[in-house]
Amino acid sequence: MSSSPADLVRAFHLAVGLDARSTPTEVSPELAAQRGKLLAEEAAEVAEVSVGGPLDQLAHELADVVYVAYGTALVHGIDLDAVIAEIHRSNMTKLGPDGRVARREDGKVLKGEHYEAPDVSGVLRRQGWSPYGE
């Protein structure tokens, strides 16, 4: 079995009886809120240890965020790997043809003239999502 985060988290959800969907689906508001709260809690734990560490705790909390994010995607039937690939494709268009990037004074990478926004809706549609009852 592959040890990608998506596969590991799916195995966990199936083992403990958590939801696991294979097509992008709007879930009940209660379930959606529960998943959002879990992720917010884990993100807050990252913030707590971001500056002061220790490094092993930061690593732990970062992994928790990714694990819960993959779990939340799975609950909603979203193939998160495909979404990440689309975000990456878009981010790489921030590079100019000369391979350089424009940066703000604080170092943030700016969107250049060749930038293409990610088409997350298109990714979900290819996974079988029909928004708004289309």
Q: Which is nearer to Mg ion, 45 or 81 (CB)?
A: 45
Query: Rounded to an integer, what distance in angstroms lies between the CA atom of residue 70 and that of residue 76?
Result: 10
Q: Where are the beta strands (DSSP E) in 3-94?
A: none
User: Per residue in 60-70, is it b (16+ CB within 10 Å) or e — as a string?
Assistant: ebbebbeebbb
Q: According to CB under 5 A, which residues from 53 to 92 bind Mg ion?
A: 61, 64
In the complex, the smallest distance separating the C-beta of residue 70 from Mg ion, rounded to whole angstroms, is 14
Give the contact letters, 4-43, x = binds to Mg ion (CB under 5 A), - = no.
--------------------------------------x-
In the complex, the smallest distance separating the C-beta of residue 125 from Mg ion, rounded to whole angstroms, is 33
Q: Which is nearer to Mg ion, 64 or 81 (CB)?
A: 64
Give the interface with Mg ion as residue ranges (CB under 5 A). 42, 45, 61, 64
